[in-house]
Structure 1
């Protein structure tokens, strides 16, 4: 791990960063991440499910909650990394408040929610510290044996298991969009995308997800941003005719179009990346921060789902 910390610090020094924050997170803001997203473990050796590292040019800290204090101490090099326990396993405000005047701290904006970024900026503001997204995550550059994104093909669930077809779910959510006069709903939680499309996958161990995003428009059409290689012809046939599968590589471009149109976009910022939020707002979109409307509907099981659970 010493070599990895050294390599990251060399990148920081070359690019003008005093510090770098590294959470255990991915672009989908879920509790579980794919092996290819285990950046915190690669850098520090810590393999717990929650934690955050703060790497300075001369020091390094790993923040964990009470579940992982002993594990973190065993898995990391105490000469290189100081383990600190906090209630939420995130970097404490006092650390950012003690930064040198004008220090520049980098973060991967795909891995943080807007509220977390704002919290870090507020803590470091006392010393005029600057928190800025890195142009590219240095860990992604340095991780030579990084696992490929896993997962197999997507699987469509028939109505006899779900009780409602995807078209009915899309119509229901679209009606809610009309009440609030939003132009589009951005779904960044793959669980919600799976629910509305009646699809499952295996991108994450033990969780039946296809890692993906979705945009539902007020017209009732739905764009599914996904690795299209995972979508078989049989799944395409079972998708609602309202659904268009779009390569994940087009996601940024579509957000830019919404922004240029000054669209009103409904978005749950509690599980949205700062990258997506900034992409919309910086480009001119009006973001309405609201709870993901799929969550309550997914929680309220219909009769078919209740019978299937018995």
Structure 2
């Protein structure tokens, strides 16, 4: 009789071993589950390497998502931007794929955690609204949400990076447009008007804006890991690691800002007993609320008082943005010229293209960093809205295909963000996009133009404008699963609130924020065909006042900030109206005028051809 051998079990993957280790750690702590967000102690969208716990555990590299782990099952939660990416990066044998907002970690736990279950969470990584809502839902199911004193992933992550030791940097008043003293004074007036003693400022970009400082603690976002307590007398306390403090920083902050070690933050919160303290529940972790409540402080849940003034750029910041856009636009134009020559030959891939684009930005001599990881997406990878190229996913840029590149730079005078979608020709130059390619691209273009040329009254919010960018896609039964516009910082975060242009969605802030002159937003409609290609056209725009003959009340429009050619090869001119053709020609005339002085020889010749008037012929 022949013995039948059982098939060999595949070797455990690194993420399988990490998940098992986490479950062992939870069991040792008497916990039945744990929730892992992408976050840090400041509720940041982009986090330092030390806080990349979700990526370490699951392999997911997106910027938004979470996981929930129980003893016998686990799940990943992402929105429509990451539907494809999560399946490529996270092992479906280990984690169920769950779609937000159709469900959430809270709802999943309520359905899957048994009565009496203790579900752990790190109060330094979650906001109070989430903690309160989740605790209530679990309580109704007979389970319990339990704050942990230390993160269990940190206990099993043997080679976890340390937080960045980079020094904090001074942002000059010339670039900031307003001294820190004036900003602190405005916050003090706000506090006094509300009868409050202090405000907790914990969002990293808010700290940076308020004190006119920057840093290098988070890749792609020039911030320093720190907290601020702002007081009603105009003074402030900065909590920051001592190795980050330089003589220049001390001199810049002066006597009105007390610099304390970062570890003194909680003791100082506890010293606010009997004080009235403003805390933003959207931007502050649960641990801060717990510390204040435990000390007997009176907490007023109010929006961070720096958020709106930070979003409304002053004249110096606007000038800096225009300068950085002109500089960055020339770098992107050089890249597109290079791509038009090299990609048709073959031999280029997503990584080599991203590296070349970075090189052109570096040639400016003033690039501080990228503003986010470049989305260099060839063919089907372009169908992932927030694709992130890696050695494992790197794809050749093939001739006769669509290539999407979404990128940006961080300069001391501004933050840029631009997307261009181009047709990669064949060496003979005879290849043509399909009729579908042109139709989809032109519908995206029409939406981009409609939003960029919108005229709207004071009081308009982003959700009211979103339809303009989608209507031509909707007319063909098409849509895209991401917002149309996000705010952008001034040498700060490339995603800055509170303003946003998107479909109104429950629990999603920003779309109901009034658009005001000085706010910068992206204009980026798109279309994505899974497994084939992606299309997106993105410029940055500045809200500005407009004069309209016979107007009743105040009206606003958008000043375009991004000046780089749009690929004419993908345009179906028959779908464009006379006004849209006029927009195209005027836009590209401005592109040529702005960029031509920065380009030479072959790149200049390419620019002139790319900016030639677009005709129906």
**Distance in 1 between residues matched to 2:307 and 2:54, nearest whole Å:** 29
Deviation at 1:2, TM superposition (A): 1.5
Structure 2 residue 87 is the aligned partner of structure 1 residue 73: yes
- What CA distance in whole angstroms lies between the structure 2 residues aligned with 1:219 and 1:295? 20
Which of 303, 314, 326 aligns to 1:291? It is: 303
Alignment of 1:191 onto 2:191 = no
Could you tell me how far apart the structure 2 residues matched to 1:209 and 1:151 are?
12
**Structure 2 stretches lacking a partner, 5+ long:** 1-14, 323-617
User: Residue in 1 aligned with 2:281?
Assistant: 269
Structure exhibiting the larger radius of gyration computed from Cα positions? 2
Contact 2:116–2:143 (CA<8 Å) still a contact in 1? Answer: yes
Partners of 1:98 and 1:124 within 8 A in 2? no
Equivalences, count = 308
Query: Deviation per CA, 1:205-231, whole angstroms, max 9, x where unpaired?
Result: 111111211001122210001112112
| SS of equivalent to 2:115 | coil
Contact 1:65 1:89 in 2 (8 A): no
Q: Give deviations 1:59-108, integer Å, cap 9, x for gaps.
A: 11111112222222222222222121222884151432442111110000
Question: Are the structure 2 counterparts of residues 205 and 182 from structure 1 closer, same or farther at C-alpha, using a change threshold of 3 Å?
Answer: same
Q: Does residue 248 in structure 1 map to residue 262 in structure 2?
A: yes
Partner of 1:293, secondary structure, is coil
Q: Could you tell me whether the CA contact under 8 Å between 1:52 and 1:64 is conserved in 2? A: yes
Cα separation, 2, equivalents of 1:58 and 1:110 = 26
Question: Which residue is equivalent to 1:127?
Answer: 141
- CA-to-aligned-CA distance 1:144-184 (integer Å, 9 cap, x gap): 11112125222112222222211121112111111111111
Asked if 1:50 corresponds to 2:64, the answer is yes
SS, match of residue 62 in structure 2: coil
Equivalent residues in 2 for 1:6-155 (5 A)? 6-87=20-101, 90-150=104-164, 152-155=166-169
Distance 1:53 1:229, change over 3 A: same
1:223 paired with 2:237, answer: yes
**Superposed displacement of residue 283, structure 1:** 2.2
For the structure 1 residues 237 and 200, does the alpha-carbon distance in structure 2 shift closer, same or farther, using more than 3 Å as the test? same
Q: Root-mean-square deviation (CA), in Å?
A: 1.6
User: Scaled by the length of structure 2, what TM-score is found?
Assistant: 0.49
SS in 1 for 2:80: coil
Q: Would the alpha carbon gap of residues 68 and 309 (structure 1) be closer, same or farther in structure 2, given more than 3 Å must change?
A: closer
1:169 maps to 2:192: no
Which structure would you say has the larger RCO, counting Cα contacts within 8 Å and 6 or more residues apart? Answer: 1
The answer as to whether partners of 1:64 and 1:72 remain within 8 angstroms in 2 is yes
Q: Is the 8 A contact 1:98 1:127 kept in 2?
A: no
Q: Under a length normalisation based on structure 1, what TM-score does the superposition of the two structures give?
A: 0.95
- Secondary structure in structure 1 of the residue aligned to 2:271: helix
Structure 1 residues 286 and 126, CA gap change in structure 2 (3 angstroms): same
Say which SS state the counterpart of residue 27 (structure 1) adopts.
coil
CA distance in 1, matches of 2:310, 2:66: 30
